[in-house]
């Protein structure tokens, strides 16, 4: 379908499975690849004039698309470009939304800029990092982000959002849940520390470095250990890995109030249950631990889907899998955990084309 008013020329019925790490899901009614900010603005206007939903697709590593596909216009972000600005003791690294995330982390580590090293190996593109407030091994991108350049869709203009305006929380932000359809991320700026020490706030990472005989690690040492730990859990996307068709963590780690925690502790019956106190007084639990204690084993399968053989928090697709199989298996996991412990797990991947009630709802300790 051609539109004479602008350069946007969407294709129709484009399969989305090849754009997603799970390799399942149906087509987009309309699909366009955006290589410039102007492309994004024109695509948004194209969809607005036709009263179509606009969906933004990045690396597809945190997304499950329904087998029936999705209506509306899907914009695949292919904006590239990285710039650096030195500001006193800081380096401000700005990357376009379509830049591969791990390449950017490697770029910073190679130059000795601290602040992103523990986020090595996370799949996907730069544009997703502020939306999800990506975090791993003791670091979150919100620790480094200074501003987000985005298209404000209702206003039809490009704006710059401050950290406060982004309202970052655990794997969340205003961009994700506060105003999920308002902004399209175009670029992100991170403030890093030249020559700064690496982040070491995670026990598994410290143990791995100790095992390597490294007690004063460099940024590169930390990056290598993080990649090795993630690889051991099949959390680095690599050809030939039988667990590679995954979105990584399928559920968020539940965060409970002290009162909620006290209510479930008798049902858990294990004082060694992993828990991490949060700054606001709540306590974060391990979703993977709860899944295993609910009776699921790594590598367990239900037809063409199952748990990763290396990590009980990752649902993996095998030959013949469909998106409906993934969601059904995820619901089975969640129902068992809720029945056993009274904790309702919340899915981490975005769900396109599913019933809004499917796999949604806050943790609800009984």
Reported confidence tier of residue 8, pLDDT bands at 50, 70, 90: confident
Tell me, yes or no, whether 241 lies in a domain: no
Provide the pLDDT for residue 130: 98
Tell me, yes or no, whether 147 lies in a domain: yes
Q: What residues pair up with 314 in beta bridges, in sequence order?
A: none
* Judgement on whether residues 294 and 228 belong to the same structural domain of the protein: no
* Judgement on whether residues 345 and 272 belong to the same structural domain of the protein: yes
Q: Determine whether 227 is exposed, middle or buried from the number of CB atoms within 10 Å of its CB (0-12, 13-18, 19+).
A: middle
Average confidence (pLDDT) over 333-357: 92
User: Annotated active-site positions, please?
Assistant: 171, 249, 348
pLDDT in tens, 300-323: 999 999 999 999 999 999 999 999
Domain CATH code at residue 278: 3.90.78.10
Tell me the three state secondary structure of residue 334: helix
Provide the pLDDT for residue 69: 97
What is d(CA 137, CA 140) in angstroms, rounded to the nearest whole number?
Answer: 9
Reported confidence tier of residue 6, pLDDT bands at 50, 70, 90: low
Specify the number of domains making up the chain: 3
* Judgement on whether residues 144 and 193 belong to the same structural domain of the protein: yes
What is d(CA 244, CA 193) in angstroms, rounded to the nearest whole number?
Answer: 33
Tell me, yes or no, whether 243 lies in a domain: no
Tell me, yes or no, whether 25 lies in a domain: yes
The mean predicted confidence, pLDDT, of the chain is 94
Nearest Cα neighbor of 300 from 327, 332, 322, 272 is 332
Q: What residues pair up with 193 in beta bridges, in sequence order?
A: 114
* Judgement on whether residues 131 and 209 belong to the same structural domain of the protein: yes
Provide the pLDDT for residue 108: 98
Average confidence (pLDDT) over 29-55: 97
Among residues 43, 77, 111, which one ends one of the domains? Answer: 77
Query: What angle do the packed helices 323-341 and 258-268 form, to 10 degrees?
Result: 90
Tell me, yes or no, whether 1 lies in a domain: no
- How far is the CA of 234 from the CAs of 23, 127, 139, 182, 231, in angstroms? 16, 23, 20, 34, 5
* Judgement on whether residues 129 and 53 belong to the same structural domain of the protein: no
Global confidence as pTM? 0.92
Among residues 177, 198, 232, which one ends one of the domains? Answer: 232
- How far is the CA of 311 from the CAs of 34, 174, 244, 249, 327, in angstroms? 35, 30, 12, 9, 18
* Judgement on whether residues 86 and 214 belong to the same structural domain of the protein: yes
Reported confidence tier of residue 326, pLDDT bands at 50, 70, 90: very high
Nearest Cα neighbor of 275 from 343, 346, 205 is 343
Reported confidence tier of residue 357, pLDDT bands at 50, 70, 90: low
What is d(CA 307, CA 17) in angstroms, rounded to the nearest whole number?
Answer: 20
The residue segments making up the domain with residue 259 are 255-352
Res. 355: pLDDT tops 90: no
Res. 14: pLDDT tops 90: yes
């Amino acid at each position: 379908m051609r539109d004479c008013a602008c350069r946007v020329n969407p294709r129709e019925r484009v399969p989305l499975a090849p754009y997603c790490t799970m390799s399942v899901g149906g087509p987009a009614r309309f699909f366009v690849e955006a290589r410039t900010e102007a492309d994004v603005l024109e695509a948004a206007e194209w969809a607005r004039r036709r009263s179509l939903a606009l969906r933004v697709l990045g690396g597809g590593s945190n997304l499950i698309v329904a087998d029936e596909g999705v209506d509306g216009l899907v914009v695949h972000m292919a904006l590239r470009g990285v710039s650096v600005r030195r500001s006193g003791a800081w380096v401000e690294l700005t990357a376009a939304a379509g830049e591969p995330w791990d390449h950017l982390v490697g770029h910073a580590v190679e130059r000795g800029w601290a602040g992103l090293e523990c986020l090595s190996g996370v799949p996907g593109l730069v544009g997703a990092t502020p939306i999800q407030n990506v975090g791993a091994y003791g670091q979150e991108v919100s620790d480094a982000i200074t501003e987000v350049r985005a298209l404000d869709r209702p206003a039809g203009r490009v704006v710059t959002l401050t950290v406060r305006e982004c309202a970052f929380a655990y794997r969340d932000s205003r961009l994700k849940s506060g105003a999920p359809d308002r902004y399209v991320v175009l670029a992100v700026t991170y403030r890093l520390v030249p020559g700064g020490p690496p982040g070491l706030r995670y026990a598994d990472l410290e143990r791995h470095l100790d095992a390597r005989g490294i007690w004063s690690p460099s940024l590169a040492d930390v990056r290598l250990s993080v990649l090795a730990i993630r690889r051991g859990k099949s959390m680095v996307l690599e050809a030939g890995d039988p667990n590679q068709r995954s979105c990584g963590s399928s559920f968020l780690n539940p965060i409970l109030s002290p009162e909620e925690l006290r209510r479930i502790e008798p049902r858990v019956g294990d004082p060694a249950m992993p828990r991490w106190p949060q700054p606001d007084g709540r306590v974060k639990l391990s979703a993977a631990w709860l899944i295993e204690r609910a009776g699921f084993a790594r590598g367990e399968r239900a037809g063409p889907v199952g748990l990763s053989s290396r990590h009980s928090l990752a649902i993996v697709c095998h030959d013949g899998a469909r998106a409906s199989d993934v969601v059904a298996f995820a619901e089975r996991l969640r129902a068992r955990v809720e029945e056993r412990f009274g904790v309702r797990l919340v899915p981490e991947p975005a769900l396109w084309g599913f019933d809004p009630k499917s796999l949604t709802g806050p943790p609800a300790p009984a």
